Amino acid sequence: MKWPEGVTIKEVGPRDGLQNEKTFISTDDKIAWINQLSESGLKHIEITSFVNPKWIPALSDATAVATGITKVPGVTYTALVPNLRGLERAFQSNVDEIAVFMSASETHNQKNINKSIDQTFPVLRDLVRETIMAGKISRGYVSTVFGCPYEGHVKIESVIRVSENLFEMGIAELSLGDTIGVANPKQVQDVLEVLLKRFPADNLAMHFHDTRGTALANILVSLEMGVTTFDSSLGGLGGCPYAPGASGNVATDDLLYMLHGMGIHTGVDQHKLLHASQFIQEKIGRTLPSKSFQAASSALGGTLGSTV
Amino acid sequence: MKWPEGVTIKEVGPRDGLQNEKTFISTDDKIAWINQLSESGLKHIEITSFVNPKWIPALSDATAVATGITKVPGVTYTALVPNLRGLERAFQSNVDEIAVFMSASETHNQKNINKSIDQTFPVLRDLVRETIMAGKISRGYVSTVFGCPYEGHVKIESVIRVSENLFEMGIAELSLGDTIGVANPKQVQDVLEVLLKRFPADNLAMHFHDTRGTALANILVSLEMGVTTFDSSLGGLGGCPYAPGASGNVATDDLLYMLHGMGIHTGVDQHKLLHASQFIQEKIGRTLPSKSFQAASSALGGTLGSTV
């Protein structure tokens, strides 16, 4: 098997990780945590979401967070944006990159965005155009690529159609989301085989949730297929607090453990991130799902991870 | 990537999974659980360990368990045995297969068995000879293949030497153990590349612990290298109860989710195992680490998994 020499990690913990948490993390704590992340060597951090605060109260302080952090040169700070109103707020907060999102399955798109897939295209087109005109980077998310909570199987034709539309709009990178964490390595291989005939590997990122424990195996196959950019969330944040053991995004900690063990370069300092995981675990007040974080905490005599 | 059509799963939950649990599972509950396992389509179940009950009080009822279960034709029931006294008890209990064990690292072998590696060989040689003479199957475990809690890195020469000795004794299968769950896919590839030049893939099994979340990725690489037999533990039992989130053996549930999703045949009924996971979770009284079990429980409206 052939694996790449280096991998780019895009940390989505402050946005995807925190957005469903019951515990509100204070603005000061969010800022402190994001500053820890940017000092660890991570070069891409999705810091918040400029959605209507009524939808996602956990991120209602988006502007304060985005303007309060200490920007590290060389780090790209990203915000999720659903519409022009959010884009305006994101521009005012001077983020570097705008992420837009939609789903590959009609029902999930309808429930999440309140529009059909076809109705969503013009909205995102405006966002991407404005983003590029403002000299910022544009990133696209496709959700439910590997399965939909409402429809089950998602047709590859729908993934292709949404992906093509997003690239035609001008996004620099497309992140393929396993939103409900159902993908298996064979499916990842099958989907990537089709997509890599149409889009360069360098413009694709994989966004796995570890709901069923398969995320690292899915990443391994993606690496073998030539994809080298992965979204992940520190500590595995993003799980549903109501489902014991359920996990959110693949944990940055686990991903780094695997990649560094394989000799794959990421530029990230694992030790610094260990403290950032501990910091956010204490603020969240529950045990984070990342296994390598928990193992590392235990190895340090339980001084880390012992408070919750 | 090429994956096999079928995989053999060796369930080690009743032995490796339960041996470190603080909660004593009653003999009747162990028997009921093993009977559930054997009705799920699993063809290999390691049911107990005939060690000195002082060492492992959790399995002090080995004889009662081994003689109390309902044997399903076609299922191989295995017991772990450390010495001739244990072998005698195992024979009296009429198990089908005897598993012997030692470590690839000197310090772990010394601490675990109280003998050097060289002192262990004649003991195991006697056990394997007696096992074969009794018409039973003999299985060998090598621990600390991918790392030792005392020595760190373990030399491949030591793994080869222990493996060669065990095969020369007459074991039918060698299980390569990542005892402390440190392996990564590159390391698995490197180790298997060396071992598969010396031993047929059909005589090797992989025994991964999921302490750092890499077990399924390690299994995926093993599959690609041609290994088709894997040890696993229902629910991911076997984690240290003192380390929150820490995980033991790779969960049978997670392994089945991945393999079946990839179209790889195992002969095991996932739905039946879901109930067996729920049963043992209730008896253990803590949330089992298997992510796909927790996801499946939640999907069933929380009726499974909601009691702890």
Alpha helices in chain B (DSSP H): 27-38, 62-68, 84-92, 106-113, 117-133, 156-169, 185-195, 215-225, 252-261, 270-284, 291-299
Cα Rg of chain A (Å, integer):
18
Other C-beta atoms closer than 10 Å to the C-beta of A241 total 12
Residue B192 within any structural domain of the chain: yes
Q: Given CB atoms, is B298 within the 8 Å cutoff of chain A?
A: yes
Specify which residues B231 forms β-bridges with.
B10, B207
| Interchain proximity B257–A214, CB inside 8 Å | yes
Q: Given CB atoms, is A232 within the 8 Å cutoff of chain B?
A: no
| Closest-CA residue of chain B to A217 | B217
Residue B308 within any structural domain of the chain: no
Residue B306 within any structural domain of the chain: no
| Interchain proximity B244–A305, CB inside 8 Å | yes
- Kindly give, in sequence order, each residue whose CB lies less than 8 Å from that of residue B2, ignoring residues fewer than 6 positions away: B224
| Interchain proximity B216–A216, CB inside 8 Å | yes
How do the pLDDT tens digits run along chain A, 308 residues long? 789 999 999 999 999 999 988 889 999 999 999 999 999 999 999 999 999 999 899 999 999 999 999 999 999 999 999 999 999 999 999 999 999 999 999 999 999 999 999 999 999 999 999 999 999 999 999 999 999 999 999 999 999 999 999 999 999 999 999 999 999 999 999 999 999 999 999 999 999 999 999 999 999 999 999 999 999 999 999 855 444 444 689 999 999 999 999 999 999 999 999 999 999 999 999 889 899 998 998 877 554 433 33
Q: Given CB atoms, is B140 within the 8 Å cutoff of chain A?
A: no
Residue B295 CA to residue A44 CA, distance in Å, equals: 30
Catalytic residue check, B148: no
Q: Given CB atoms, is A135 within the 8 Å cutoff of chain B?
A: no
Structure tokens given for B274: 């879901």
Residue A162 CA to residue A177 CA, distance in Å, equals: 12
Residue A165 CA to residue A155 CA, distance in Å, equals: 16
Of the candidates A289, A197, A174, A203, the one whose C-alpha atom is nearest the C-alpha of residue A238 is: A289
pLDDT value of position A286: 87
Is the pLDDT at B299 greater than 80? The verdict is no
Task: Give A298's contacts in chain B (Cβ within 8 Å).
Answer: 240, 242-243, 246
pLDDT value of position B21: 87
Residue carrying the six token digits 């979204």:
A231
pLDDT tens for each residue of B196-217: 999 999 999 999 999 999 999 9
Of the candidates A176, A181, A165, A65, the one whose C-alpha atom is nearest the C-alpha of residue A117 is: A165
DSSP assigned state of A169: H
Backbone φ and ψ of A209, nearest 5°: -100, 150
Q: Are A293 and A253 in contact (CB under 8 A)?
A: yes
Which among B183, B185, B261 is the nearest to A187, CB-wise?
Answer: B261
| Interchain proximity B246–A298, CB inside 8 Å | yes
Q: Given CB atoms, is A217 within the 8 Å cutoff of chain B?
A: yes
Coil, helix or strand for A277? Answer: helix
Which among B182, B258, B294 is the nearest to A217, CB-wise?
Answer: B258
Which among B213, B292, B298 is the nearest to A291, CB-wise?
Answer: B213
pLDDT value of position B241: 46
Task: Give A182's contacts in chain B (Cβ within 8 Å).
Answer: 261
Other C-beta atoms closer than 10 Å to the C-beta of A98 total 26
Q: Given CB atoms, is B4 within the 8 Å cutoff of chain A?
A: no
pLDDT value of position A55: 87
Residue B138 within any structural domain of the chain: yes
Which among B189, B221, B305 is the nearest to A244, CB-wise?
Answer: B305
Structure tokens given for A130: 């404005």
pLDDT value of position B184: 98
pLDDT value of position B247: 64
Q: Given CB atoms, is B257 within the 8 Å cutoff of chain A?
A: yes
Of the candidates B38, B41, B103, B85, the one whose C-alpha atom is nearest the C-alpha of residue B65 is: B38
Is the pLDDT at B103 greater than 90? The verdict is yes
Name the catalytic one among A240, A262, A300, A308: A240
Could you give the C-alpha distances from B182 to A139, A176, B134, B185, in angstroms and in order? Answer: 35, 29, 37, 10
**How far does the CA of residue A13 sit from the closest CA of chain B (Å)?**
18
Which among B220, B289, B295 is the nearest to A212, CB-wise?
Answer: B295
pLDDT value of position B244: 46
Structure tokens given for B18: 């339960």
Residue A305 within any structural domain of the chain: no
Stretch B39-49: mean pLDDT: 98
CATH number for the domain harbouring residue A39:
3.20.20.70
pLDDT value of position B82: 97
- Greater confidence, B301 or A17? A17
Domain extent, residue A282, equals: 8-299
pLDDT above 90 coverage of chain B, percent: 87
Stretch B265-274: mean pLDDT: 96
Split into its structural domains, chain B has a count of 1
Residue B2 within any structural domain of the chain: no
**How far does the CA of residue B112 sit from the closest CA of chain A (Å)?**
20
pLDDT band for B239, please (50, 70, 90 cuts). low
Could you give the C-alpha distances from A5 to A204, A227, A250, A266, B283, in angstroms and in order? Answer: 17, 12, 21, 9, 46
pLDDT value of position B308: 33
Residue A261 within any structural domain of the chain: yes
Task: Give B305's contacts in chain A (Cβ within 8 Å).
Answer: 244
Residue A304 within any structural domain of the chain: no
Of the candidates B165, B230, B185, the one whose C-alpha atom is nearest the C-alpha of residue B204 is: B230
Please report the DSSP string for B131-170 in residue order.
HHHTT-EEEEEEE-SS-BTTTBS--HHHHHHHHHHHHHHT
Which among A3, A185, A262 is the nearest to B258, CB-wise?
Answer: A185
pLDDT value of position A299: 74
Coil, helix or strand for B263? Answer: coil
pLDDT band for B109, please (50, 70, 90 cuts). very high
| Closest-CA residue of chain B to A211 | B291
pLDDT band for B2, please (50, 70, 90 cuts). confident
* A221: alpha, beta or left? (left if phi > 0; alpha if psi -120 to 50): alpha
Task: Give A235's contacts in chain B (Cβ within 8 Å).
Answer: none
| Interchain proximity A220–B185, CB inside 8 Å | yes
HSE-CB at A37 with a 13 A cutoff on CA atoms is 31
**How far does the CA of residue B121 sit from the closest CA of chain A (Å)?**
32
Mutate to test the interface with B, among A291, A307, A308 (most CBs of B within 10 A): A291
